Structure 1
Amino acid sequence: MRAKTERRRRNGQFKLLDRFSSLRDALNGLGILVVEQHNARIHLVVATCVLALGLLTGLSGLEWILVFAAIALVWMAEAFNSALEYLADAAVPDTHPLIGKAKDVAAAGVLISASFAVMVGLWAFIPG
């Protein structure tokens, strides 16, 4: 975060221009995620296919909500996992067992969210 933004926060002044700056930073982070993280690109392809399939099959309102929620959950988990990996690598460039455990646990979060997304997809797309 920029020092200028930090000063404004401490002074209690937060302007609309700062909101746009925060949005730009978030979009930059999304770009980094897609460009640098292979799994994020896989999530992008899968999410696009799922959304196209949803349009073709005519999902109900509830099904759309759950599909969007599952996609968002997977993307959030992937973003947090990547952020943790970047921070860990910057803080401790050498191999460290606790850093390895932290990365594995964060990856487990992605796996859990992706497993949930698969369950939602099965429920939404397989006639019951």
Structure 2
Amino acid sequence: MRTKTERRRRGGQFSLLDRFSSLRDALNGLGILIVEQHNARIHLVVAICVLALGLLTGLNGLEWLLIFAAISLVWMAEAFNSALEYVCDAAVPEAHELIGKAKDVAAAGVLICSVFAVLVGVWVFVPGLLR
């Protein structure tokens, strides 16, 4: 099994084995995100509840698209935020003002995406629930 660095050195040659290896790495990252990040577990529970509510309320195609987009956006932001935190902690383990600012800004990105997701949820679900 080749390492990520060894796969990059091959000069862009396509390899199905390398693609499966990359998929394994991504799934490993998803597992790390869920196991190690408390907020990711909260996002998981909320996403499952939202999907269940979508099934119960009979969303149309556009509504499902908006829900999936909002959920994906929050998960992407959480993954990037967690990755930044891991890199910062590895590079500068002690407290540092700029590292703290970087982490706060990344967390703000998750907050922005989460607020957007809530607004999408309200826009999609409230009219159906009021009927």
TM range (shorter): over 0.9
* Pair 1:107 & 2:107 matched: yes
Query: Which sections of structure 2, spanning at least 5 residues, go unmatched?
Result: none
Aligned AA for 1:6?
R
Question: Match for residue 2 of structure 1?
Answer: 4
Give per-residue Cα distances to partners, 1:52-106, cap 9 Å, x unaligned: 0000000111110000000000000000000000000000001000000000000
Give per-residue Cα distances to partners, 1:22-81, cap 9 Å, x unaligned: 000000000000000000000000000000000000011111000000000000000000
Question: Match for residue 32 of structure 2?
Answer: 32
Write out the 4+ residue segments of structure 1 that deviate beyond 3 Å after TM superposition: none
> What is the root-mean-square deviation of aligned Cα atoms in Å?
1.1
Structure 2 CA distance for aligned equivalents of residues 43 and 71 of structure 1: 8
Normalised to the residue count of structure 2, the TM-score between the two structures is 0.93
Question: Match for residue 97 of structure 2?
Answer: 97
Structure 1 CA distance for aligned equivalents of residues 13 and 73 of structure 2: 32
Equivalent residues, number: 126
Displacement after TM superposition at 1:7 (Å):
2.0
Query: Which sections of structure 1, spanning at least 5 residues, go unmatched?
Result: none
Structure 2 CA distance for aligned equivalents of residues 95 and 113 of structure 1: 27
Normalised to the residue count of structure 1, the TM-score between the two structures is 0.95
Map of 1:18-97 to 2, 5 A cutoff? 18-97=18-97
Q: Percent of pairs identical after alignment?
A: 79
Aligned AA for 2:116?
F
Structure 1 CA distance for aligned equivalents of residues 4 and 42 of structure 2: 32
